Amino acid sequence: MRLFRWKALVPLFLFVGGLGLLWLIFLDTLVERTVENFGTEIVGALVEVDEADVRLTEGFVTLRGLRVTNPDAPMTNLIEATEIVADIRIVPLLQKKIFIDTLAMRGLRFGTARQTSGAIEGSTATNREIRRQIDAWAERVRIPDFSLAGLGQAVNASAIRAESLQTPAYALQLIASIDSSRRAWETAVADLNPDPLIDSGRVLVARLQSASPRTLGVTGLVQTLRTARSVQARIASAEAEIRALDDRVRDGLTSLQVGITTLDDLRARDLAYARSLLRIPSADTPDLSPSIFGSFAVSKIKPLLYWAQFVDRYLPPGLNPRRRPGPKRFRLDGADVAFPSAGALPKFTLAFGEASLTIGGAGAVAGNYQGVMTGLSSAPAALGIPLRISASRSDAVAGPGDIGFNAIIDRVGNISRDSVTVRVAGVRLPALTVPGLGATLDLGTGVSSVQFLRTGDEIAGTLRWQANAADWQRVVSPSTGIQARVEDLIWRTVSAVRDVDLEVRFSGNALGPSLAIRSNIGTAISRSLRQQLSAEIDAAEAIARAEVDRVVGEPIRQTRARIVALETEVHNVIATQRAAIEEIRAQLEARINKFTTSSRPNEPLSKRFARSSKPASMNSGG
């Protein structure tokens, strides 16, 4: 039998050749779709390319009409480029790797409007997870409340009710506990019931007092002593039980006293709760910036954290195998595992990228800009050099022209070491609402700067906005009385402030940094508030305190009284029983000792009896 079917070779070659031809014909479309799909996967929003032109023989690829949607604003493009020309190496393509020697971007524009939304049906798993983590952090950030709305309003004391406070409920619980302890101890005392034993002891003592060895005789004496010792043992046992009960009672009372301390703590908490109900503005802090600018700061930090995590996911440090979602297909996608190796080419490398753009007009941002990127790769540790990006304005039409961006994303070692510095001067800064004051603050033109440092999972940095011609606008306030008066005073204070310096510092874990917010506005408002509000705050707090005391005072008094009563009552009962039983024990011991004590302790009872039976004169004479 023949092993090979040689005549099949020709159709096979024709088939493979046909496949190759199809690949070449559709290569442009293939590259276009690949850039769109891969870009969309990475950005988490639509990435579109109008046209791709691949010239394998000449070693370059041209993309025209690139639009990258801003994932935070789907009707806006993050970046738009008229033309991107990439000079690629052919040999790495045989390893299914892309190595771009140089890349030039022309006709760059930022923040352009889109005709249609660039949001994608559910962001990719990676982006979704990052957003979920950042949103969870934002919800955890505690922004102190600042409101003047409660000022001057009649203090709504009716909101302070027994059901909404913790103290009355705990007092009831404590009283129930006191009653329960009382019943348990009364039962224990009743079970103990030493009265019959005490009576029996008294009868025995009386008998012993009236008896003597001579009248009892030997047998009677032995019998009497045996009975006496038995009663003595029972008395000792009862005494021990009373002592144990006494200890238990003392422990129980100590525990109830702790409950009283807890009541005092709860009263303090209830007072704080009542104070929050009254919405009294706090003037305790020297700087109200966290209250005023907290939400604004969180909204500005969120994108920063997102991109920090984004870079970390797609450019992890080290050379460990890393997983990515597999290609979309009818079958299960699975995951692609990359195996970067030192010295070998990464899956994707951009050795040098350059972008230039011109913004026309005569505005503050008009001018020529230049951006350079080196060392971008999917496995920086394999490439051995960190990613560096820098951008600056090379020529300005107007304004101070100080725009600079420098970033080093170092993932060469096993620990991420990133640093980013951005400084933009002469641009329009954001306008923001000042909560609690009924005013808006337009920072106008000023300086905005960002500093970001990362080492491993720890990040630290600063966002800062500085303006010297801030414009305050007051929204018409419906406030009346004291609130309107205080608002007016604060307004006069802050509206005179034209130089604004707002700084947000963040530090800690990359997924949950802590914030510190400082501004001259916050300090000024705080100072003004303290001056104007101290009397108002004192009066409102006094009302709150009185109302809380009215609601919780009686339960606390009752609880204390019950504990004192229980302590007195139980102690009295136990002390009485203990004294009675100790007394009878002492008497019984004395009588027994009288019968048994002898100058010759080893003398037998019969001899002692004989000796005690002789006339008293003989005894005294001996």
Partner 1 sequence: MLLLRLIQKLVKTLNSEGTPGQVAVGIALGSILGLTPFLNLHNLLAFAAIAVFNISFPAAMLGWVLFEPVGFLLDPVFHDIGTAVLTNAPPLLPTWTGMYNAPVVPFSNYNNTVVMGSLIGWAVLALPIFFVARWAVAKYRERVLSKLQRTKLFKAVKASKAYDIYRLFQPD
Closer CB to partner 1, residue 74 or residue 92? Answer: 92
Closer CB to partner 1, residue 12 or residue 233? Answer: 12
> Is residue 29 close enough to count as binding partner 1 by CB under 8 A?
no
CB of 97 to partner 1, least distance (A): 8
Helix axis angle, 605-613 relative to 213-277, nearest 10°? 110
> Is residue 344 close enough to count as binding partner 1 by CB under 8 A?
yes
Could you tell me the two tokens for 531?
């001056």
Write the CB contacts of 34 (distance below 8 Å, at least 6 apart in sequence).
Answer: none
CB of 319 to partner 1, least distance (A): 9
Using the rule CB under 8 A, which residue among 17, 111, 334, 384 binds partner 1?
334
CB contact burial 204-215 (16+ within 10 A = b; e otherwise): bbeebeeeebee
Q: How far from chain centre, in Å, is Cα 463? A: 22
> Which residue, 536, 533, 525, is CA-closest to 492?
525
Closer CB to partner 1, residue 11 or residue 601? Answer: 11
> Which residue, 308, 426, 410, is CA-closest to 359?
426
Stretch binding partner 1 (CB under 8 A), from 108-116, 266-274, 330-338, 426-434 = 330-338
Which residue bears the tokens 């993932």? 411
Residues constituting the chain: 622
Which residue bears the tokens 């994608």? 120
Closer CB to partner 1, residue 338 or residue 511? Answer: 338
Could you tell me the two tokens for 233?
């043992």
State the number of CA atoms in the 13 A half-sphere of 222 facing the CB. Answer: 5
- For partner 1 (CB under 8 A), the number of binding residues is 33
CB of 14 to partner 1, least distance (A): 11
How far is residue 209's CA from residue 335's CA, in Å, rounded to a whole number? 102
Q: How far from chain centre, in Å, is Cα 65? A: 45
Stretch binding partner 1 (CB under 8 A), from 88-96, 246-254, 388-396, 532-540 = 88-96
Closer CB to partner 1, residue 15 or residue 110? Answer: 15
Stretch binding partner 1 (CB under 8 A), from 9-17, 202-210, 563-571, 613-621 = 9-17
Using the rule CB under 8 A, which residue among 235, 345, 355, 588 binds partner 1?
345
Using the rule CB under 8 A, which residue among 129, 179, 265, 333 binds partner 1?
333
Handedness of CA 220, 222, 225, 229 (dihedral sign): negative
Q: Rounded to the nearest 5°, which phi and psi values hold at 359?
A: -105, 120
Using the rule CB under 8 A, which residue among 9, 22, 75, 575 binds partner 1?
9
Closer CB to partner 1, residue 94 or residue 362? Answer: 94
State the number of CA atoms in the 13 A half-sphere of 110 facing the CB. Answer: 7
Using the rule CB under 8 A, which residue among 14, 16, 21, 590 binds partner 1?
16
> Is residue 600 close enough to count as binding partner 1 by CB under 8 A?
no
How far is residue 30's CA from residue 11's CA, in Å, rounded to a whole number? 26
Longest dimension (CA), the chain: 152
Stretch binding partner 1 (CB under 8 A), from 187-195, 341-349, 403-411, 512-520 = 341-349
Could you tell me the two tokens for 41?
């996967």
> Is residue 328 close enough to count as binding partner 1 by CB under 8 A?
no
Residue 113 DSSP label: B
> Is residue 332 close enough to count as binding partner 1 by CB under 8 A?
yes
How far is residue 119's CA from residue 494's CA, in Å, rounded to a whole number? 41
Using the rule CB under 8 A, which residue among 42, 277, 338, 489 binds partner 1?
338
CB of 59 to partner 1, least distance (A): 17
How far is residue 270's CA from residue 559's CA, in Å, rounded to a whole number? 17
> Is residue 95 close enough to count as binding partner 1 by CB under 8 A?
yes
Stretch binding partner 1 (CB under 8 A), from 100-108, 143-151, 182-190, 323-331 = 323-331
Stretch binding partner 1 (CB under 8 A), from 207-215, 324-332, 348-356, 588-596 = 324-332
Q: Which residues bind partner 1 (CB under 8 A)?
A: 1-9, 11-12, 16, 94-97, 321, 323, 326-327, 329, 331-339, 341, 344-345
